[in-house]
Structure 1
Amino acid sequence: MSKDIRIKKGLDIKLIGEADQVTTELSLGSMFAIRPDDFHGVIPKILAKEGTEVKAGEALFYNKSDERMLFPSPVSGKISEIVRGARRKVLAIKIAADSKQEFKDFGKKDVEAMSGEEVKNHLFASGCWPFIKQRPYDVVANPNQAPKSIFVSAYASAPLAGDYDYSLKGKESELQVALTALTKLTAGKVHVSVGENLASSPFKNVQGVDLHKVSGPHPIGNVSTQIAQIDPINKGEVVWVVTPQDLVVIGELLLTGKLNLRRTIALTGSKFNKPQYVTAIAGAQIGDLVKGNLDASNARIISGNVLSGLQASENDFLGYYENQVTAIPEGDDYELFGWNKPVFNKISTSRALTFSWLNPKKKYDLNTNTNGEHRAFVVTGAYEEVFPLDIYPMQLLKACMYKDLDEMEGLGAYEIAPEDFALTEFICVSKQPHQKIIREGLDLMREELG
């Protein structure tokens, strides 16, 4: 039975620069890259050497801990460079794209006639397995451990996040085929969460899944929030997670036999002249996406959203899982007596000298300034106001910092991902790097507890 979800704890950060519902078809671009760091916890073993010609969908490397887990080239072309860092760690594999794209043919499939094992093997062979991530630990799913359920969040609540109802329009058949395939991978249910306006959702007529309507402030769009409300994780249990844009890739693979990593990217933020949607292939160079549209003076480019994305430059490449590029002002200025005067142009959960609570619908042009320096944790009770999970956020953060595995287990670390602490990091008066602390804690748990 479907369960509609509404939360009250959270915070909507309303920013200038929401993408207009206009999509521009970009040219292919000349250079692409896949970064193993996008697949957290994966140790890559290179299959293709520099100078090798590859087709779109052909494997570039595999996971050292599971050779079935392949990571494909997003385009056809020649591998121009394998970028390495300290101790020869692979940082990126760069591919010079062909002007005419060639796809490796994986064959069309009738998903209704496939068994769960056949679906799994097809996802391995085609390089689609990395699209399936898991809780706990927020890493690429372990195929040897069956999930009790699978979740898809088709509602994005992060600041300036793209609208799935718009970007997935016309992809209903691919979504249905992919969801049918997912139902073969679990003995439990597949849960899909959409916004309150179900009538405009491309998921409104999907069959074989539990559909949930969600509402409330961010982080209602985060999968962890939905899992906690619908099917909470206990010790020893696993839940798999797939994003909607990756569902389209899986669906198209099953229908056509081609791995097409083209997706709709939202260009958002006040530093874009025309915030809009563009079509691009995963791993595209960011300079190709923002060309002619970016006010580059004093701008911070982010691959992802402002809360959990990564800082990038025009020479960097779009993250493998990202469907958003954000550009906001760089916060490199010093505000004299900024702490001791009324503030009207910033968001705050506190009412001390700040007035954002008077106009909750106002949109702001925030920069990257932290408005303070790093210091020890200050107990204010503010974290709990924006954290909807039934977890003590400060206590869990401290347990991760002093590496107490028993406490981390008891405080609910199996249920969370770093993105769930993005809001607490945003409002933190101590300027602590919450997401980094949680990531390191989860990595320790995975290493010690498995």
Structure 2
Amino acid sequence: MSNDIRIKKGLDIKLKGKAEKTVEQAIISNYCTVRPEDFHGTIPKLIAKEGTQVKAGGILFHDKSNEAIKFVSPVSGKVIEVVRGPKRRIDAIKIEADKTQDYQDYGKFDLDTASPEAIKAHLLASGCWPFVKQRPYDVIANPNKLPKAIFISGYASAPLAADLDFTLQGKETELQEAITALGKLTEGKVHVSVGKTSNSPLAGLSGIMLHKVSGPHPSGNVGTQINKIDPINKGETVWTVNPQDLVIIGELLLTGKFNAERVVALAGSSIEKPRYFKTLIGSEVSTMVYDKGIAKDANARIISGNVLSGKHIKPDGALDYYSNVISVIPEGDDYEFFGWNKPVFNKISTSRALTFSWLNPKKEYDLNTNTNGEHRAFVVTGGYEEVFPLDIYPMQVLKACMYKDLDEMEALGMYEVAPEDFALTEFICVSKQPHQKIIREGLDLMLKEIG
């Protein structure tokens, strides 16, 4: 099999406001917030209660269903608030950061002599295990199941995504250490994908199967790459890790410190000077967004993640645990008079009905959050298949999830997908159906009923 992956189906959404390749140190955040909702399917059991002093890498909570999976603090400081929701659900843990950071010392780890069980135990104890996710179900990996392969996507094709070739520069040592450790946890291969014309630090690592990817979004999605390289069958498991999370894992193995540093892209048409920031997981986004970013009274939406699958956060919100981009675009709360009945030149569309984006494929657009329509019943247009490169029927999968037919969901390939794989079909959906929410609920049902 060729190591080149060429995707033909998909859609590149070119937006204004791509981050310039300059890195600045973000204003040091006074507070750090960890939200258990970032770890889908986890029921938190609190360890660090209000008033507890924690070190960076100190345990905040563990998973109630598997106490071995621990979640740690990105900073050292004092737990000042545990935000609770309905039925005393833990919604957030807020930490007031110390001026001088104090790290929990997990000790340097000798990979040469370590067994797979010892590596796994070290990653679990140090709080690095939540960075390892699994398919099926797109949740934190079950440490008791052996994966048939591990997949890492070093190519970001989503709109305004952070350039991984840039953000990973100089991190080759940490990346190699993490890859070596993960390689011992599977009997299969560690598949790493990079852009066909990229100069990624991942490409020079040893112990990997390298793949070069080209084509429109979602070619950079790890789900697309799994489907083209080694599809998942019933009873099989694969693990996935984000490249910047590999750096944290590698640094912990080398130094014994949990360093939750992120290079984050601040991007979007509402940003005056799009660029990269060096910050920490859970930091306040206001330390980046309002520093030569947007005016405080601007009518904009702040998204932790990319514009297709990211999470809407408030101006006083925090960077979530897995994101490496903050997207800021105009809020779409205005409506065009007879907008449906006149030629459109300033929006992107896969349809040629009164829209002309196909005439200028390289044009960058200043799009807002307006859905340009209301929720209605599914309309069969054949459009989903044009932007969905997986060997799966998207419409049929969505409907099977909606009427909760587990046998049909299995037969149609639900084991392979994650909500982000349906972000593009949701974007072009004329029925304005919430595809990612439908898939997430379907996966949750399968996890509960099938496991």
TM beyond 0.5: yes
Within 1, Cα distance between the matches of 2:110 and 2:37? 34
Q: TM-score, normalised by structure 2?
A: 0.99
- The amino acid across from 1:377 in the alignment is F
Q: State the match for 2:339 in structure 1.
A: 338
CA offsets per residue over residues 210-231 of structure 1, 9 Å max, x none? Answer: 0100000000010110001111
Q: TM-score, normalised by structure 1?
A: 0.99
CA contact (8 A) 2:400 2:409 kept: yes
Within 2, Cα distance between the matches of 1:26 and 1:287? 10
Q: State the match for 2:438 in structure 1.
A: 437
Q: State the match for 2:209 in structure 1.
A: 210
Matches within 5 A, 1:202-241: 202-241=201-240
Matches within 5 A, 1:91-130: 91-130=91-130
CA contact (8 A) 1:15 1:363 kept: yes
Within 1, Cα distance between the matches of 2:113 and 2:155? 30
- The amino acid across from 2:345 in the alignment is F
Within 1, Cα distance between the matches of 2:13 and 2:369? 14
CA offsets per residue over residues 104-162 of structure 1, 9 Å max, x none? Answer: 00001122221111110000010000000000000000111100000000000000101
Within 1, Cα distance between the matches of 2:445 and 2:419? 14
Matches within 5 A, 1:5-404: 5-198=5-198, 200-292=199-291, 293-296=293-296, 297-404=298-405
CA offsets per residue over residues 276-331 of structure 1, 9 Å max, x none? Answer: 00011000011112122123411011010000001111211111000000000000
- The amino acid across from 2:441 in the alignment is E
CA contact (8 A) 2:347 2:357 kept: yes
Is the partner of 2:421 in helix, strand or coil?
A: helix
**How many residues were matched structurally?**
449
Within 2, Cα distance between the matches of 1:362 and 1:114? 52
Within 2, Cα distance between the matches of 1:164 and 1:2? 23
Is the partner of 1:327 in helix, strand or coil?
A: strand
- The amino acid across from 2:83 in the alignment is V
- The amino acid across from 2:103 in the alignment is F
Within 1, Cα distance between the matches of 2:287 and 2:237? 39
Within 2, Cα distance between the matches of 1:183 and 1:209? 8
Within 1, Cα distance between the matches of 2:222 and 2:403? 27
Within 2, Cα distance between the matches of 1:256 and 1:232? 36
Within 2, Cα distance between the matches of 1:203 and 1:22? 21
Is the partner of 1:357 in helix, strand or coil?
A: helix
Bigger shift: 356-365 or 114-123?
114-123
CA offsets per residue over residues 405-444 of structure 1, 9 Å max, x none? Answer: 0110011000000000000000000000000000000000
CA contact (8 A) 2:77 2:96 kept: yes
Within 2, Cα distance between the matches of 1:9 and 1:207? 31
Within 1, Cα distance between the matches of 2:314 and 2:269? 16
- The amino acid across from 2:146 in the alignment is A
Task: Give the percent of matched residue pairs that are identical in Structure 1 and Structure 2.
Answer: 68
Is the partner of 2:259 in helix, strand or coil?
A: coil
Within 2, Cα distance between the matches of 1:294 and 1:247? 32
- The amino acid across from 2:294 in the alignment is L
Within 2, Cα distance between the matches of 1:113 and 1:180? 12
CA contact (8 A) 1:300 1:311 kept: yes
Is the partner of 1:204 in helix, strand or coil?
A: helix
Within 1, Cα distance between the matches of 2:205 and 2:110? 17
- The amino acid across from 2:394 in the alignment is P
Bigger shift: 22-31 or 374-383?
22-31
CA contact (8 A) 1:2 1:210 kept: no
Within 1, Cα distance between the matches of 2:264 and 2:434? 27
Is the partner of 2:112 in helix, strand or coil?
A: helix
CA offsets per residue over residues 343-381 of structure 1, 9 Å max, x none? Answer: 000000000100000000000000000000000000000
CA contact (8 A) 1:112 1:180 kept: no
CA offsets per residue over residues 17-74 of structure 1, 9 Å max, x none? Answer: 0000000012321000100000000000000110010000000000011111000000
Within 2, Cα distance between the matches of 1:155 and 1:340? 39
CA offsets per residue over residues 59-103 of structure 1, 9 Å max, x none? Answer: 000001111100000000000000000000000000000000000
**CA 1:114/1:314 → structure 2, altered by over 3 Å: closer, same or farther?**
same
CA contact (8 A) 1:47 1:62 kept: yes
CA contact (8 A) 1:303 1:319 kept: yes
CA-CA distance at 1:2 after TM superposition: 6.0
Is the partner of 2:445 in helix, strand or coil?
A: helix
Gaps of 5+ in 2: none
CA contact (8 A) 2:32 2:96 kept: yes
Within 1, Cα distance between the matches of 2:66 and 2:340? 52
Is the partner of 2:201 in helix, strand or coil?
A: coil
CA contact (8 A) 2:283 2:318 kept: yes
Within 2, Cα distance between the matches of 1:190 and 1:204? 12
Within 2, Cα distance between the matches of 1:36 and 1:312? 15
- The amino acid across from 2:387 in the alignment is V
- The amino acid across from 1:252 in the alignment is E
- The amino acid across from 1:446 in the alignment is L
CA contact (8 A) 1:2 1:211 kept: no
